[in-house]
Structure 1
Amino acid sequence: MFLHVQRLLNEIVPDEPDPAAANALQEGLGGQFGEMRTMMQYLFQSFNFRGPDGKPFRDLLYGVGTEEIGHVELIATTIARLTDGSPRYQGSATDDMDTPGAGGATPLSAALTEGNIHHYLVGAQGALPVDAQGDPWTGKYVYDSGNLPLNLLYNLMLESTGRLQKCRLYEMTANKTARSTIAYLIVRDQAHENAYAKALEALGVNWNTLLPIPKTNAEKFPEVATLLEQGLQSKQYTFSLDQLSEAGKLYRGPSPSNDGTTLSTAQAPDGVPMDIAVERPEEFGPGLDPELLAMVQAVAEMEADEPAGQWGRVG
């Protein structure tokens, strides 16, 4: 089973809203090489895994796949931050919904000229399960041949392509909110490249003669360089609450990236605090009138009295 800790994998740096950057990031979420695809692909390969002797490989897939759930959460939250509000709109939440702001600006005018209008019409300033063209994500992206070497080789190609694409996304925007998340995903993609490269080496596959990992020189990006200095590219999380994961049998030794680091595993990252976005009256969201708000508060009081549960509180 899966448990959820209410913390984000990485800090999302605040900046001005940027609907165009949000739409570009949709490719990294719901595109062919995006986070929804990696999440579903690795988890389905885990669910369908055969052969008890291959448990370290299955556990590695489970760890990476579980982390990808957090990546979906992180990039979706980033897209919501980038569409949240209107750039430089000076209206007030206490005004009538149709009262123009400074210079006659309307609250949702950015939707008509920037990014994906569906972020506002359909998503109420939130992420959507689509690519940058607005095409819905599809399960047809998911690859699971049932053959371990083929799956691992395909996964290595997927991570390499995903990292290459995120480097392009980084170069498309100077927005700090977007870049903070893109840089983190670039480094974690490298960690996952290392994971699948190590797993292939354990099977005797000379992957580096078949598939050279693309050289993106991503370390020139300041945000990426900071994360690389922390060794984040050489650590893989198991997300194994019961500590039964055997992924550490594979993810160890010198890094396949040849950067002088040594691979290691950990249960989970510390993460950063997660908050809930403010209400957006112009989107009628969440639309809590006084009666509904009273009901929400009553539920919150009941939940505060609930026992901690089998696993207790984390952190």
Structure 2
Amino acid sequence: MPIPQAKGVLTDIGTEELAHMEIVATLVYNLIKDAPLEEIKRAGLDGYYADHDRALYFVNAEGAPWTAAYIQSKGDPVTDLHENMAAEQKARSTYEYLIQLSDDPDVSDTLKFLREREVVHFQRFGETLNLVHEYLERKKYY
């Protein structure tokens, strides 16, 4: 990123996103740690259980493992900020769908918090994009 403010935003949001993964992992752990095996089977998690027991292993809804391939980067600050904004919107909509699936008020409240943080991140990336545009459009003197 060409300006210190952009580097700071990326560091702050990146750190918070790691915390989001930890929060979701804690939710999943608390939901399955005491679940009887029959309930795990009824939920369609018997394949997951066979591979991981009740241990946490980051997968998507279809069971594909998390991979850094989900993260896109082009090296162009404008492109990368747009990509970050799109990622925040995709995360926001995923939290919304999870809220719709949830029948646990505590889980729903946690997901609502995470959804709102994605909105804030989108806004911060938008503000940063404006700053980067201003920087790139400024006449340079050497």
Same fold flag (TM > 0.5): yes
Counterparts of 1:193 and 1:185 in 2: how far apart (Å)? 13
Unaligned runs of 5+ in 1: 1-48, 87-106, 206-315
C-alpha distance after superposition, 1:70-120 (max 9, x if no partner):
11111001000111212xxxxxxxxxxxxxxxxxxxx41112211422443
- TM value normalised by structure 1: 0.40
Shift of 1:121: 2.7
Distance change (3 Å), C-alpha of 1:115 and 1:77: farther
Counterparts of 2:44 and 2:15 in 1: how far apart (Å)? 30
Distance change (3 Å), C-alpha of 1:175 and 1:81: same
SS at match of 1:127: coil
Unaligned runs of 5+ in 2: 135-142
Shift of 1:176: 2.3
**1:206-285 mapped onto 2 (5 Å cutoff):** none
**1:121-200 mapped onto 2 (5 Å cutoff):** 121-200=50-129
- 1:202 maps to 131
How many residues end up aligned between the 2 structures?
134
* Aligned counterpart in structure 2 of residue 65 of structure 1, from 14, 22, 31: 14
Q: Is the 8 A contact 1:152 1:196 kept in 2?
A: yes
Counterparts of 2:21 and 2:39 in 1: how far apart (Å)? 25
User: Structure 1 segments of 4 or more deviating over 6 A?
Assistant: none
Q: Is the 8 A contact 2:102 2:108 kept in 1?
A: yes
Shift of 1:129: 1.4
Shift of 1:195: 0.6
Q: Of the two structures, which has the highest relative contact order with CA contacts closer than 8 Å and spacing of 6 or more?
A: 2
Distance change (3 Å), C-alpha of 1:115 and 1:78: farther
Identical aligned pairs, as a percentage? 24
Counterparts of 2:108 and 2:12 in 1: how far apart (Å)? 25
C-alpha distance after superposition, 1:262-285 (max 9, x if no partner):
xxxxxxxxxxxxxxxxxxxxxxxx
- TM value normalised by structure 2: 0.85
**1:28-67 mapped onto 2 (5 Å cutoff):** 49=1, 51=2, 54-67=3-16
Shift of 1:204: 3.8
Q: What letter matches 1:156 in structure 2?
A: M
Kindly indicate which of the two structures has a greater share of residues assigned to strand.
Answer: 1
Say yes or no: does 1:111 pair with 2:33.
Answer: no
SS at match of 2:52: coil
Kindly indicate which of the two structures has a greater share of residues assigned to helix.
Answer: 2
